[in-house]
């Protein structure tokens, strides 16, 4: 069984691509076979890690053809492959919009994909047909949320509207997965617990349990930017640090343990040795 996770938000610039790359890097280093899918027209994830092998095709063929054949490139990180975004003219969005089953082509393609434990799909930071493609392909959704109250309200409103709009897709065999909100880029001036509690109340009541807020919080630290510049997963970049903020390795391990409790993590990653 391949677990499909889509990182999504109705808002741009919240940390989706960074989170996708780092989750993928950690899961791959823990011995899982991982496939990243860059489903954003802006191909940021596609160049996050250097490629060892470039496939002839990418996202365009995957979505229009409903097939992975010829679309999977290899990154320099062992166990980590990627479908790169290759839609420079931006025709894909329109194609999905005007193709009756366009929104479920990736979901269909994933049914025939074997050899991967986890597929992580990065999406664009704006509502649109291509975002729907990623959301409908997933077993579960993760949404980074900026820890300011206004952004949090926007998260609740925007995300609930998206889930409501896509809900009828369950009648076509494409139910929307459970959505986990992840408080992301928390700086030490903000009281994490207060923001988290406020968000939990706001979203839980309104979403009738379809959204939950994770306990793990991703702090705002330079390590995430530096690791991106160095093109390495952040858990490798920052294995320990001084001060109250947990290091990136600890944070990413805590996230995987909470989100995917069935995944075994080696002792050196968990920090036991």
Ligand X SMILES: Nc1ncnc2c1ncn2[C@@H]1O[C@H](COP(=O)(O)OP(=O)(O)OP(=O)(O)O)[C@@H](O)[C@H]1O
Helix, strand and coil in the chain, % to nearest 5: 45, 20, 40
**By CB under 6 A, residue 146 contacts ligand X:** no
**Which span sits near ligand X by CB under 6 A: 58-66, 188-196, 220-228, 259-267?**
220-228
Residue 87, SS3 per DSSP: coil
State which residue has the least CB distance to Mg ion.
17
d(CA 158, CA 17): 19
How far from each other are the two terminal CA atoms of the chain, in whole angstroms? 31
For residues 248 and 223, the answer to whether their CB atoms sit within 8 Å is yes
- Please choose which of Mg ion, ligand X, none residue 224 contacts, taking the beta carbon within 5 to 8 angstroms, the exact cut-off set by kind: ligand X
Question: Within 10 Å of residue 3's Cβ, how many Cβ atoms?
Answer: 17
Using CB under 6 A as the criterion, what x/- string covers residues 43-82 for binding ligand X?
-x--------------------------------------
Task: Rank residues 36 and 253 by Cβ distance to Mg ion and give the closer one.
Answer: 36
Ramachandran quadrant class, 164 (left: phi over 0; alpha: psi -120 to 50; beta: rest): alpha
**By CB under 6 A, residue 106 contacts ligand X:** no
d(CA 260, CA 251): 14
Using CB under 6 A as the criterion, what x/- string covers residues 18-37 for binding ligand X?
x-------------------
Using CB under 6 A as the criterion, what x/- string covers residues 120-139 for binding ligand X?
-----x--------------
- Please choose which of ligand X, Mg ion, none residue 156 contacts, taking the beta carbon within 5 to 8 angstroms, the exact cut-off set by kind: none
- The tokens describing 51, both together, are 């490629």
Span 179-198, contacts to ligand X by CB under 6 A: 185
Beta partners for 73? Answer: 82
Binding site for ligand X (CB under 6 A): 12-18, 40, 44, 125, 185, 218, 220-221, 224-225, 228
């Amino acid at each position: 069984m391949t677990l499909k996770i889509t990182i999504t938000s109705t808002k741009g610039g919240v940390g989706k691509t960074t989170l996708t790359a780092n989750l993928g890097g950690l899961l791959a280093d823990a011995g899982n076979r991982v496939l990243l899918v860059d489903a954003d027209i802006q191909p940021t994830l596609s160049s996050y890690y250097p490629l060892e092998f470039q496939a002839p095709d990418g996202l365009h063929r995957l979505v229009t053809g409903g097939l992975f054949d010829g679309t999977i490139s290899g990154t320099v990180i062992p166990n980590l492959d990627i479908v790169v975004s290759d839609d420079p003219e931006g025709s894909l969005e329109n194609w999905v919009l005007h193709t009756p089953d366009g929104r479920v082509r990736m979901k269909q393609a994933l049914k025939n994909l074997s050899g991967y434990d986890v597929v992580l799909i990065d999406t664009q930071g704006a509502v649109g047909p291509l975002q729907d493609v990623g959301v409908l392909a997933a077993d579960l959704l993760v949404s980074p949320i900026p820890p300011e109250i206004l952004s949090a309200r926007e998260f609740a409103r925007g995300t609930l509207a998206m889930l409501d709009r896509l809900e009828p897709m369950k009648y076509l065999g494409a139910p929307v997965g459970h959505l986990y909100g992840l408080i992301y880029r928390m700086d030490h001036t903000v009281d994490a617990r207060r923001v988290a509690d406020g968000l939990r109340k706001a979203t839980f009541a309104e979403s009738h349990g379809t959204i939950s807020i994770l306990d793990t919080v991703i702090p705002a630290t330079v390590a995430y930017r530096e690791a991106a510049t160095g093109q390495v997963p952040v858990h490798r970049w920052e294995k320990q640090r001084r001060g109250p903020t947990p290091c990136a390795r600890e944070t990413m391990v805590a996230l995987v343990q909470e989100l995917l409790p069935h995944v075994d993590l080696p002792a050196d990653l968990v920090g036991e040795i």
